[in-house]
Structure 1
Amino acid sequence: MSAREGGSEGAVVQSRSQEPQAIELPWTTVEHYLGRGLGASYRLSAVDDPLVSYEIADGGRGIALHVELTGRHHAPRSPLSAVRVDNILHAGRRMVRLTTPESELLRDFHDLALAVADRIVVEGRDLARAFDETVHGWSALLGRTRGLSLERRLGLHGELAVLVRLAESSGWRAAIDAWVGPAGEEHDFALESADLEIKTTASERRRHTVHGLGQLAESPGRSLWFASLRVTRGGTGGRTLGESVKAARDAAAAESIASRVRLDRLLSATGWDPDQSDDERWTPRDSPLVLRAVDMPRLTPGDLPAAAQGRIDGVTYRVDVTELPPAAETRPIDLSDLRLP
């Protein structure tokens, strides 16, 4: 299987004489192109069959599955807000393009796109049936846990980066003492004189999900700081969550076995599972934006009307801090040029 860079035609994966085989396109290959901003095209169907191709957009802007329509075949309707289905013309061919507008879900969309393509190329389904069968099969699995969610995996990446930075300045014993989020505390880190909440996103904008009215509320007598981290897909130069965990564990063990044991307990409390599938690589997009919580848009228990006090809980909302000015005063921890462990 080969690809093009810069827009040329991709190579044929299967010839007409070959028996159809299960489609294989490792995510690591796709991530290589995304991380370098290079376009690529993989033809998945045989040369004499209607075109089915996997497309990686130039500039790392996303991925798509292209399927040629023939005869009276038509584009399916997508019941999923995270999957778009568009009719397009490509090189004079009537095509359907499957994409996702959610950049954080590219890895999951990759699996779905290949599952649809496999049903078309290998099993001989038309696009509408292949798409419906894939969506139905995946929907049946929605109630089953698949490990940490993407939001939580990115969040753990960010917390580990801050933990290692703190350990570099204060030692692992103090750093582990400060990491109180896994123990069920409201905020991620309890520093000497302030609390710190970490949020990590793979989106272009610094848009983060806040869980509960207390997550951005100060504890009595302590200031609360908020750090917005942005990561991007790093290709071979990025770090998987497993690699970050290993680097943190090795660094803690270098100080003392007791520190590594304590770190392992906290990692277990976050839901980290070393056997979980782990092939997404990330790298920081830029330095974190650090704010005082009182200077950013937020909801706290004091914002509820008196009649709602004690009667509303479980509040979840999204806050966008893009382009807000960073805090001018001295911060409790220096997070400039933060790197993943």
Structure 2
Amino acid sequence: MTEQSDDARHLSMANVDIIWTSGHPMVLPIAGTPLCKLDLHPVHGTITLLTAFTPPEPDVAKWRNISFSPVNSDDENVGELTVSVEGNVHGAYGLLTSVADQLQLHQQPLAAAVATAIAKHRDLFAGKAGLSAEQEVGLFGELIVLDFLIEKIGAGPAVEAWQGPLSEEHDFVFSDVHLEVKTTSGEHRRHMMHGFTQLVPLRNVPLSVISIQLTRSNHQGGATLGQMVSSVRAKSGGHRPKVDAALEAMGWEDADVGLYNTYWMKRNHPRAFGVDDRFPALTAARLAEVIPNFKAISDLSYRLDLTDFTPSALPEPLADFVTLEEDH
């Protein structure tokens, strides 16, 4: 006979441990309305709450170890809220019984019940970090360039040109030009620069900054970061492994795709700006001339506003990617 907790609704943690260590799956109904059942599955390392629900679905994309999926049912909306135990069976069980209590005792809709329960058990679900907003638009911009190049010169040469974070090269490397891709969602071409070497030409090859401006859109006119990743992967064909390696190095994780719900599109046509003697790049050589004990500076970040700078042209295959016209 199983021992129940003090409120007589749920098993004690001692009995949860017995079930879990047995290794055998067990379904535990929870008395009340709406219908709630807990599926403890030690082999899979999960506990799942199956319950009827009224939309909207709970928003769990930003939480580790928890997922939601609707289940096909002819009679009503049914959903499965699944927690990956990862060594904390008490925490997972406690969270899902809290959700059931909010549903049955407080008559909360599922989305609200999950939010309330997570607030009480927040330590179990450290939020997914994902990419920062700046990193999200930065990766989106590089994928725009890569997508253009794949269409223009083919997957092999395009992927080979994309250096991303995998080397000390610039973002895209060609024999006659190197590119640093900078992307912003702002109304002005203001871009963050990092370090002393980012805007230093290499091997006497001309360097240009590509300025891309994004704006929020919808599913009809734009794409999410996840959709861009999927599209570029599909177009990369046999060159996908290198694309995946670059994505991973930039912080992309497939498990975090639900974090990136914003639809982006280009605000206007990208521009290129040649990094020459007149370009305001903060480099080690320039700074050493004016800053005493310059070597004591270990890091550097600064923002450039290129809105009113005169754009420059790019050689093929990039000539059509940028414009020399004024922004409208």
TM-score (norm 2): 0.56
* Residue aligning to 1:293: 275
C-alpha root-mean-square deviation of aligned residues, in Å? 3.3
- Displacement after TM superposition at 1:330 (Å): 4.6
Query: Alignment partner for residue 252 of structure 1, among 229, 236, 247?
Result: 236
- Displacement after TM superposition at 1:264 (Å): 1.3
* Residue aligning to 1:325: 310
Q: Does 1:239 align with 2:223?
A: yes
DSSP-derived class of the 2:141 partner: helix
* Residue aligning to 1:310: 295
* Residue aligning to 2:322: 336
**Cα deviation digits, residues 225-277 of structure 1 (max 9, x gap):** 11110000012221000000000011112xxx2x1122112211111111212
Contact 1:208 1:318 (8 Å CA) reproduced? yes
Letter of the structure 1 residue corresponding to residue 322 of structure 2 = S
Letter of the structure 2 residue corresponding to residue 260 of structure 1 = R
**Cα deviation digits, residues 169-202 of structure 1 (max 9, x gap):** 2221111111112204252111122210000000
Letter of the structure 2 residue corresponding to residue 250 of structure 1 = A
1: CA distance, partners of 2:235 / 2:127 = 34
Contact 2:233 2:243 (8 Å CA) reproduced? yes
**Equivalences for residues 73-88 of structure 1 within 5 A:** none
* Residue aligning to 1:275: 255
Contact 1:214 1:301 (8 Å CA) reproduced? yes
* Residue aligning to 2:193: 210
- Displacement after TM superposition at 1:300 (Å): 1.0
Q: Is the alpha carbon distance of 1:251 and 1:328 closer, same or farther for their aligned partners in structure 2, counting shifts above 3 Å?
A: closer
**Equivalences for residues 28-67 of structure 1 within 5 A:** none
Contact 1:208 1:319 (8 Å CA) reproduced? yes
2: CA distance, partners of 1:25 / 1:322 = 42
* Residue aligning to 1:190: 173
- Displacement after TM superposition at 1:311 (Å): 2.6
2: CA distance, partners of 1:325 / 1:331 = 20
**Equivalences for residues 14-163 of structure 1 within 5 A:** 146-163=129-146
2: CA distance, partners of 1:331 / 1:273 = 33
Q: Does 1:221 align with 2:204?
A: yes
Contact 2:159 2:236 (8 Å CA) reproduced? no
* Residue aligning to 1:112: none
Q: Is the alpha carbon distance of 1:310 and 1:332 closer, same or farther for their aligned partners in structure 2, counting shifts above 3 Å?
A: farther
2: CA distance, partners of 1:291 / 1:154 = 19
DSSP-derived class of the 2:180 partner: strand
- Displacement after TM superposition at 1:220 (Å): 3.0
Identity of aligned residues (%): 34
Q: Is the alpha carbon distance of 1:228 and 1:311 closer, same or farther for their aligned partners in structure 2, counting shifts above 3 Å?
A: same
**Cα deviation digits, residues 76-114 of structure 1 (max 9, x gap):** xxxxxxxxxxxxxxxxxxxxxxxxxxxxxxxxxxxxxxx
1: CA distance, partners of 2:317 / 2:296 = 35
**Cα deviation digits, residues 45-87 of structure 1 (max 9, x gap):** xxxxxxxxxxxxxxxxxxxxxxxxxxxxxxxxxxxxxxxxxxx
Letter of the structure 2 residue corresponding to residue 204 of structure 1 = E
Contact 1:193 1:332 (8 Å CA) reproduced? no
2: CA distance, partners of 1:309 / 1:332 = 39
Q: Does 1:172 align with 2:155?
A: yes
> Which of structures 1 and 2 has the larger relative contact order (alpha carbons within 8 angstroms, sep 6+)?
1
2: CA distance, partners of 1:187 / 1:329 = 16
Letter of the structure 2 residue corresponding to residue 314 of structure 1 = D
Gap regions ≥5 residues in structure 1: 1-21, 28-121, 123-136
DSSP-derived class of the 2:179 partner: strand
Contact 1:191 1:332 (8 Å CA) reproduced? no
Gap regions ≥5 residues in structure 2: 1-53, 60-105, 107-119, 324-328
Letter of the structure 1 residue corresponding to residue 230 of structure 2 = K
